[in-house]
Structure 1
Amino acid sequence: MMMKMIEMRMMMKMIEMRMIMNIIEMTMVMKMIEMTIVVKIIEMMMVMKMIGMRKKMMMI
C-alpha cells in the first residue's frame, strides 16, 4: 500500500515538473517574440528617420 502512495507522489511530482518546464518554455518564446517585435519597430523608426533626413536634403 505504501509503495502505491509513493509511486502516486512521484508521478504527481513528474507532472508538476513537466508543467513548470512547459510554462518556462512558453514564457521564453513570448520573450523572443517580444524582442523581435521591438527590434522591428526600432528598425522601422530608423528607416523613417533616414527617409526624413533624405527629404530634408532634397528640400535644401
Structure 2
Amino acid sequence: MVRLAAPGLLERQLAVDWLVVDQTDGFPAGAAEAALHEAIGSPAWNVVREKAGIILLARVQ
C-alpha cells in the first residue's frame, strides 16, 4: 500500500501524472478529500474512473 499526502504536490509541474484517491481510507484525516477537491477543481485534471469510493484522475497533457 502506498500513502501519499503532500500539500501542494498537485500544483508542481510534472510532479505526478496519475492520482488515485481512496475515499474510504481516512488516513491521514482529510488529506484524501483535500487532494481530491484540489484536483477536481483544476482544469489540469480529469476523472478517468470512479468505483466503490476509489477515484482515478489523470493530468491533462
- TM score, norm. by length of structure 2: 0.25
Query: Larger relative CO (CA 8 A, sep 6+): 1 or 2?
Result: 2
**Larger strand proportion, structure 1 or 2?**
2
Name which one, 1 or 2, has greater alpha-carbon Rg. 1
